[in-house]
Amino acid sequence: MSSLDPALTGGAETSVGKGIQRIGWNASLTGILAALGWTGAAALIEYWPEIIPQPYGRELALISLAVAVATAFVAVTGTLLGQFASTVRYYGPWLVVASLVLVGWEILTAKTGILPVPFFSSPQSILEVYLDDYERLGISVWYSILLLAKGYFFGAVTGFLIGTTIGWSRSAAYWVHPVLRLIGPLPATAWLPLAFFIFPTSGSASVFLIALATAFPVTILTWSGIASVNRDYYDIARTLGAKPSFLILKVAIPAALPHVFVGLFMGLGTSFAVLVVAEMLGVKAGLGWYLQWAQGWAAYNNMYAALLVMALMCSGLITMLFRVRDWTLSWQKGLVRW
């Protein structure tokens, strides 16, 4: 029997720890390599003079050194820190690669200038944005989250209701399907002129565009999920006296939820792209607006900092949606493998 068998471990091992063992990494050695890499990055940043003096070089070196100390401590103490240690050990190879990327980035920009300023920013200049312009950047993130939440919510609810309706009713599918085939493939940004003309404010027009981008994939995947439910489930439920409302709420929708979440993930990606475009053209705050402002002033370090925040924001939202999916589909644990 495998050493990873839960019957032997009593469930004490975390899934991250199991992943490390399955992949076969030497976690302690990888942690030491990561610590050496980040220590080298700190020394490089601190002791190699910059061709153009930049602020916050020492702060960046201290951050790199802190990462090195943390990874070294985890490598030496093993799993003493519990879940945190398991996560750090799992991402050990990525920490090694990240230290090498930081070293290469620093050399090519701040130390040698092979990648010229201002089109390429050094790590110090990115850190400068977060330390000096955090207020404006933070307000932009907050406005983007609010706008995305409104549009995504309305689009997800609308798409779910339409998808459930056309998946259940052939009459509804007859009338709605041609409309979806006509409108759905068009990018939501193509509706920009019409949306800004119809809606009274740029904010409401942006919400509509985000909702439109979200609704189409949710509708299609919900429809597919409802239509693909095993007909035997309905026959069994009818034999037991189930009414149509029970068949929809207790049979069709639960069975279609994996498809629904695929649509939600796809809708999140498309809505995020539309969010940036809508903020560039209409609203007075948000990450899209911040990007346009940075480009207008040739503040490329601000632009790169905002792009990094956007990537982390999108990744965080996807992680949250995965958590919601795992909680909602906990009764299907072991069947859903994505």
More confident residue, 157 or 26: 157
> What values do phi and psi take at 152, rounded to 5?
-65, -40
Q: What is the CA radius of gyration of the chain?
A: 25
Tokens 């029970």 sit on residue? 246
Q: pLDDT tens digit string along 209-244?
A: 999 999 999 999 999 999 888 888 888 888 888 888
The residue among 224, 306, 212, 297 whose CA lies nearest residue 260 is 224
In angstroms, the CA 251 to CA 244 distance is: 10
Model confidence at 270: pLDDT above 70: yes
Model confidence at 24: pLDDT above 50: no
Model confidence at 192: pLDDT above 90: no
* Tokens found for residue 77: 């103490």
The residue among 145, 110, 83, 178 whose CA lies nearest residue 312 is 145
pLDDT band at 25 (very low <50, low <70, confident <90, very high): low
Q: Given this model, what pLDDT does residue 333 score?
A: 66
pLDDT band at 201 (very low <50, low <70, confident <90, very high): confident
Q: How far is CA 76 from CA 10, 63, 80, 320, in A?
A: 25, 20, 9, 32
Model confidence at 51: pLDDT above 70: yes
Model confidence at 282: pLDDT above 70: no
pTM of the model: 0.81
Model confidence at 105: pLDDT above 60: yes
In angstroms, the CA 323 to CA 301 distance is: 33
Q: Given this model, what pLDDT does residue 15 score?
A: 47
pLDDT band at 30 (very low <50, low <70, confident <90, very high): confident
Q: What is the mean pLDDT of residues 99-112?
A: 94
Model confidence at 93: pLDDT above 50: yes
Number of C-beta neighbours around residue 203 at 10 A: 20
Give the containing element (helix H, strand E) for 62.
helix 57-77
> How much of the chain, in percent, has pLDDT values that exceed 90?
43
Superfamily covering domain 134-332: MetI-like (1.10.3720.10)
Q: What is the mean pLDDT of residues 269-293?
A: 84
Calculate the average pLDDT of the chain: 84
In angstroms, the CA 239 to CA 233 distance is: 10
More confident residue, 167 or 77: 167
| Cα 186–Cα 187–Cα 191 angle in degrees, nearest 5 | 90
Q: Given this model, what pLDDT does residue 144 score?
A: 92
Q: Given this model, what pLDDT does residue 8 score?
A: 36
Q: Given this model, what pLDDT does residue 7 score?
A: 37
Q: pLDDT tens digit string along 283-328?
A: 778 888 899 889 888 889 999 999 999 999 989 999 999 999 888 8
Q: pLDDT tens digit string along 112-152?
A: 989 987 789 999 999 999 999 999 999 999 999 999 999 99
More confident residue, 43 or 28: 43
> How much of the chain, in percent, has pLDDT values that exceed 70?
89
Q: pLDDT tens digit string along 66-92?
A: 999 989 888 888 777 777 788 888 888
Positions of CATH 1.10.3720.10 in the chain: 134-332
pLDDT band at 334 (very low <50, low <70, confident <90, very high): low
